Amino acid sequence: MLSESRTKTSSASSKDASPKDSPRLRGSGLGLMIVKTLADKYHGRVWVEDRIKGNHAEGAEFVIELPLAKR
């Protein structure tokens, strides 16, 4: 459960990024570094969860949590 002062968004699963009928592509990890840097700058968090809890073979979900803006 998230507190009222925080919001949660997530990206597409890793399965969506690399369909089974296409060759596996390897990245440099630069995108995750940029996301982590921005999350840190805005006092947020980034983590990875199994898309289907307990079954890492079914893909991953990257979660980004940032504080809500004050009005």
pLDDT for residue 33: 92
3-state secondary structure of 10: strand
Residue 2 and residue 8: Cα distance in Å, rounded?
8
Nearest partner of 65 among 17, 26, 10, 4, judged by Cα: 10
Residue 3 and residue 36: Cα distance in Å, rounded?
21
- pTM over 0.85? The answer is no
Question: In the chain, which ranges are continuous DSSP H helix?
Answer: 14-17, 30-41
pLDDT for residue 20: 57
Place of tokens 């089974």: 20
pLDDT for residue 14: 44
What is the pLDDT tens value at each position of the chain, 71 positions in all?
Answer: 344 444 444 444 444 455 555 577 778 889 989 999 999 999 999 999 998 888 888 899 989 999 998 88
pLDDT for residue 45: 95
